[in-house]
Amino acid sequence: MILRYLGFSIDTIGEFRGYFRELVAGELVFPGTALDGFSLSDPEKVLPDGMVLTPSEFFLEFRTDDILSRQVFLFASTLELMAFYQVLRNKRPMLMPAFVAVGSRPGIELVQKIMTRYKGARFVLVNGHTFFDRVWDVRLACHLDNFEPVIRMENGKVLIRAGKYEGQTFPDLLTLSRFSRLSGYRTSVRTMKAKGFNSYVEMIRQVPAFNP
């Protein structure tokens, strides 16, 4: 199975078994999970070569119990969600928050429904290091705070406007925390990155301790 090749343990695959189906050609399909008042359009797919096709808007929720957590980790893709879960389980086996995949460009309506579902929870955004990953961080944080941000390139810089908050910086310097410092925008949303790796999927594939 492609998941084993990508570094996922037998235990992790077993825990997520009900969230995907494997096609004859070796392709994996993640249909997503139900969310009140929201209709999923396209599933997430993992091709036999490991390429991930993530829809722009998606919802897949994974919890280890039926209690709505006070801490929620949000991801663009289910594969990154699974990899992060595998790493976290090795570090903190007795403390498991909620994990939610939302797609590569979730709209404010979906994000606000998630916010309502986990009212009062602390949100942590887990994504990669690329420019587009960092734009995802800023956009999603603004959506969680009920802003529809405008993000565009202007004279070689990234201009971001969210309500009364505005800031600009060079693309390689863009982060959520930098936008907050430049604009005065304050948010309780935090970000988390795989240190030394482009993603948590890359981490579990390269670090034996996370790939038993």
Average pLDDT over residues 161-168: 92
Residue-wise pLDDT tens digits, 32-83? 887 877 777 789 999 988 889 999 999 999 987 666 668 899 999 999 999 9
Structure tokens at 140: 């999603």
What is the pLDDT, as a whole number, of residue 95? 60
What is the pLDDT, as a whole number, of residue 156? 92
Mean pLDDT taken over the chain: 88
Q: Label residue 190 exposed, middle or buried (CB < 10 Å: 0-12, 13-18, 19+).
A: middle
What is the pLDDT, as a whole number, of residue 6? 87
Q: How far apart are CA 51 and CA 89, in angstroms?
A: 25
Q: Is the pLDDT of residue 208 over 80?
A: no
Whole-prediction pTM:
0.90
Q: What percent of the chain has pLDDT over 90?
A: 57
Residues 6+ apart with CB under 8 A from 134: 127, 174, 175, 176
Residue-wise pLDDT tens digits, 191-201? 999 999 999 99
Average pLDDT over residues 121-146: 94
Q: How confident is residue 211, by pLDDT bands cut at 50, 70 and 90?
A: low
Q: How far apart are CA 76 and CA 56, in angstroms?
A: 9
